[in-house]
Amino acid sequence: MPKLVKVAQSNPYKTWIRGEGIPIIEGYSIDDVMTVPLKPWPRIGGRGAYIDLVGSDNLTGAYVCEIPPGKSLNPEKHLFEELIYVVSGKGSAAAWNEDGDRQTFQWQEGSLFSPPLNSWHELTNKQSDKAARFLAVTGAPVFMNLFHNSDFIFNNDFAFKDRYSGQSDYFTSEGRIIQLVDDRGKIIQSAIPAIWERNLFQNVLDALRPSEIIGLEQMWKGGKIIHMVLSDNTMELHIGEFEPGTYMKAHRHDGGAHIIMLSGKGYSLMWPDRAPEQRIRCDWHKGSVISPPENWWHMHFATGTETYIHMALRWCGNKYRFNNDWQYLDRRNIIEYYDEDPEIRRIFEAELAKDGLKSKMDKSLYKKK
Ligand SMILES: [Fe+2]
């Protein structure tokens, strides 16, 4: 008869971040990535804090990191994808794989890039008088929990040449805009209409400029949104720009999204299915991060007068699908404006009134056709 032993249930990712010796910020949102308190981070060589929000759902992880003035972080490589958004400062980065294929590029506030999977990368702060700060969103929880061996994750010599082989234009190319088709070449109607594949955005707000931008009218009247993939990642992101005085329909989907606010002010409401009494409100402004938990209904409200721009860094995109159905377009996962709790509209109008503003939501949206 085998011996009965009590074994503690394990989440290797959480165990690993707890062992890193830096603060771990928990909750549903972060008020401002610029003011997240950081501590020295010996492994990385800068200062950092992990962000472990409920909505990350063990799919994505996040951290904030500061590079000291004039210094470089320790070079590292890892078997998980990582999206880096620079919130302040400027500097350079080098990326190379085990075969020595190497490229360098410059970055500054607003830049977005992703070190290719398992390639070495080194980030340098080029300013001698100011720290540089970035937010990273990674796929580390899935990989850590799958292999539960950090040595395998950080000391693996495999070079993913299919993703990166040191191409001279890897970080300079404008990339391409792709439309997803099925095996007969037919456009997949239920997928995101277009995705911009590019490995470095010097200023991610520029992604909103091209005319190819696809409007997401069904989610938010007057909004525009573009989806992006960097470094041939499975992780994806989108950036959306919306008119102040409007708000997005309640909707729900899988977890793992970290939404960073790039412009504007407002608030989000989130609540578990069939439990509207548990509604949570997160006020936000430039630099806030929110993460709606899996299947929680959520809505984003843009108040004030400045354009609302957000960027959602997410697990599992459209180019590489892990599951079959695209939930955004499924009507079961959207609440139409005319079906929402009237209290929601009342709160929104009251919030605008505090600044002497009026809702720009068309009254007809609240009438069932
Ligand atoms: Fe959402």
Dist. CA 43–CA 129, nearest whole Å: 23
Q: How confident is the model at residue 329 (pLDDT cuts 50, 70, 90)?
A: low
Instruction: List pLDDT tens digits, range 116-127.
Output: 999 999 999 999
Q: How confident is the model at residue 44 (pLDDT cuts 50, 70, 90)?
A: very high
CA of 312 to the centre of ligand 1 (A): 9
CA of 298 to the centre of ligand 1 (A): 6
The rounded mean pLDDT for the chain is 92
DSSP string, 258-294: EEEEEE-EEEEEEE-TT-GGG-EEEEEETT-EE-PPT
Dist. CA 321–CA 265, nearest whole Å: 33
- Using CA atoms, how far residue 298 sits from 194, 255, 280, 368, in Å, is 24, 12, 9, 21
Dist. CA 351–CA 349, nearest whole Å: 5
CA of 21 to the centre of ligand 1 (A): 32
Model confidence, pTM: 0.95
Q: How confident is the model at residue 353 (pLDDT cuts 50, 70, 90)?
A: very high
CA of 329 to the centre of ligand 1 (A): 11
Q: What is the chain's length?
A: 369
Q: How confident is the model at residue 359 (pLDDT cuts 50, 70, 90)?
A: very high
Q: How confident is the model at residue 323 (pLDDT cuts 50, 70, 90)?
A: low
pLDDT at 210: 72
pLDDT at 190: 67
Contact predicate 21/49, CB 8 Å? no
Q: How confident is the model at residue 213 (pLDDT cuts 50, 70, 90)?
A: low
pLDDT at 211: 60
Q: Is the dihedral of CA 39, 41, 45, 51 positive or negative?
A: negative
Looking at the predicted structure, is the pLDDT value of residue 191 above 80? no
pLDDT at 194: 80
Contact predicate 140/61, CB 8 Å? yes
CA of 227 to the centre of ligand 1 (A): 13
Sequence letter at residue 355: D
DSSP lists the bridge partners of residue 121 as: 76, 95
CA of 297 to the centre of ligand 1 (A): 8
CA of 32 to the centre of ligand 1 (A): 20
Q: How confident is the model at residue 193 (pLDDT cuts 50, 70, 90)?
A: confident
CA of 333 to the centre of ligand 1 (A): 10
Average pLDDT over residues 182-188: 88
pLDDT at 363: 92
Percent of the chain with pLDDT over 70: 94
CA of 47 to the centre of ligand 1 (A): 31
Dist. CA 213–CA 223, nearest whole Å: 11
The least confident of 19-23, 27-31, 325-329, 354-358 is 325-329
CA of 248 to the centre of ligand 1 (A): 9
CA of 8 to the centre of ligand 1 (A): 34
Instruction: List pLDDT tens digits, range 59-104.
Output: 999 999 999 999 999 999 999 999 999 999 999 999 998 877 899 9
pLDDT at 317: 78
pLDDT at 99: 79
pLDDT at 301: 97
CA of 90 to the centre of ligand 1 (A): 31
CA of 83 to the centre of ligand 1 (A): 19
Looking at the predicted structure, is the pLDDT value of residue 336 above 70? yes
CA of 252 to the centre of ligand 1 (A): 6
Average pLDDT over residues 2-14: 96
Q: Which domains does the chain carry?
A: 12-154 (2.60.120.10), 176-361 (2.60.120.10)
CA of 319 to the centre of ligand 1 (A): 18
DSSP run (H or E) holding 87 = strand 82-88
How far does the chain reach from its first CA to its final CA, in angstroms? 68
CA of 320 to the centre of ligand 1 (A): 19
Q: How confident is the model at residue 322 (pLDDT cuts 50, 70, 90)?
A: confident
Per DSSP, which regions of 140-188 are E strands?
176-178
Cα 44-125-310 angle, rounded to 5 deg: 85
pLDDT at 344: 96
Half-sphere exposure of 70 (CA within 13 A, CB side): 2
CA of 151 to the centre of ligand 1 (A): 35
Task: Look up tokens 């439990």; give the residue.
Answer: 275
What is the DSSP-derived secondary structure letter of residue 358? -
pLDDT at 220: 66
pLDDT at 290: 98
